[in-house]
Each structure stands twice: as structure tokens, then as C-alpha cells.
Amino acid sequence: MVALEVKLASDVSDEDVKHLRWLRDRLGPDLLDAAVITTGPDAYRRADGIAVIPAALLGA
């Protein structure tokens, strides 16, 4: 399973990923990856392993 969450914010805080972390704790290795889609300009992986992906990178 891959979990995606969409946020209209450009910055991602710990509060923004709390549900993804909760899901990862419940699913364990069944969760292959987790990411937040944002309006921000940069793609990166947070220290907790959750990816941050700008919606603009998803294409049209």
C-alpha cells in the first residue's frame, strides 16, 4: 500500500503528517511508502521518511 495525503499548504509540518505516521504505525511493512502532495516548490523526503511532493511535479 502507498498512502498519499493532499495539503493546500506549501510547507509541511509534523502536524500535517500525523495521520500518515499513524497509518505507518498500524500497517507496518505493508505500507510501502507515504507522501504528502503540497503546493510548495520543492520535493524532498522528511527525516521521518515521508515524502513531500509538489503538485506541479505531477504533470497536467
Provide the pLDDT for residue 46: 97
Average pLDDT for residues 27-54, to the nearest whole number? 96
CB 4 within 8 A of CB 20: no
Average pLDDT for residues 41-51, to the nearest whole number? 96
Q: What is the pLDDT of residues 1-37, one digit of tens each?
A: 999 999 999 999 999 999 999 999 999 999 999 999 9
Q: What is the pLDDT of residues 28-40, one digit of tens each?
A: 999 999 999 999 9
CB 33 within 8 A of CB 51: yes
Residue-by-residue DSSP string for 13-51: -TGGGHHHHHHHHHHGGG--EEEEEESSS--EE-TTS-E
